[in-house]
């Protein structure tokens, strides 16, 4: 089984950030949530609030959309952003691949279903922006992977982030994906 981070690894950017920029261009009402997020981002940098709390503040823009709207908008987003998935991944992809990401399910699930791969990610309430459980980051990725695949062996693991070292350590072979999409051995 091969396991991949998503953002910066098989997708050229950060999908959550790209989705937010997409919203700003097409649904400007989300801008009213930006000042509170900036304040919580500063508080996060000062260790006053947790990363999860900061992200919940960010995702509060979900409150401004009605039932089914975000799902429709996410589909529109992927219509214009699926080309940011690296060709190397599309050529290597297998049906038993696992994508594990801190990005929320409502953004990643449609593209992972299209790719035909498994997804482990952060669970965010699509109506409120509140996290359901912990942000899927660092050691939490290993915990969730083991919860779903207790005896699985990770043959290859790919990520662009040092924060994924816990997963790299349990893989037979780990690779780092550079910003240009170049793949190197994990060191």
Q: Domain span at residue 162? A: 2-185
Count of structural domains within the chain = 1
| Residue 57 banded pLDDT, cuts 50, 70, 90 | very high
Per-residue confidence (pLDDT) for residue 179, from 0 to 100: 87
Answer whether residue 181 shows pLDDT above 90: no
CB 53 within 8 A of CB 59: no
142-172 pLDDT tens trace: 999 999 999 999 999 999 999 999 999 999 9
66-119 pLDDT tens trace: 999 999 999 999 999 999 999 999 999 999 999 999 999 999 999 999 999 999
Answer whether residue 180 shows pLDDT above 90: no
CB 85 within 8 A of CB 5: no
pTM for this model (two decimals): 0.93
User: Computed over its alpha carbons, how large is the radius of gyration of the chain?
Assistant: 17
CATH number at residue 150: 3.40.50.1000
Return the ∠ at Cα 49 (arms to 141 and 56), rounded to 5°.
Answer: 60
Answer whether residue 1 shows pLDDT above 90: yes
Query: β-strand 171-177 against 183-185: which pairing, if any?
Result: antiparallel
């Amino acid at each position: 089984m091969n396991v991949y981070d998503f953002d910066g690894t098989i997708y050229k950017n950060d999908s959550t950030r790209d989705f937010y920029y997409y919203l700003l261009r097409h649904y400007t009402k989300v801008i009213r949530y930006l000042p509170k997020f900036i304040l919580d981002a500063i508080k996060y940098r000062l260790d006053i609030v947790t990363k999860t709390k900061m992200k919940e503040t960010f995702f509060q823009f979900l409150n401004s959309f009605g039932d089914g709207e975000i799902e429709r908008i996410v589909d529109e987003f992927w219509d214009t952003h699926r080309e940011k998935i690296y060709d190397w991944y599309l050529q290597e992809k297998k049906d038993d691949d696992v994508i594990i990401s801190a990005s929320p399910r409502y953004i990643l699930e449609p593209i992972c279903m299209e790719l035909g791969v498994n997804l482990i990610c952060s669970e965010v309430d699509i109506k409120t922006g509140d996290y359901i459980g912990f942000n899927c980051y660092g050691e939490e990725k290993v915990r969730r992977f083991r919860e779903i695949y207790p005896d699985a062996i990770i043959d290859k693991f790919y990520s662009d982030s040092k924060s994924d070292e816990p997963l790299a350590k349990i893989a037979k072979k780990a690779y780092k994906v550079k910003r240009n999409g170049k793949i190197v051995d994990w060191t």
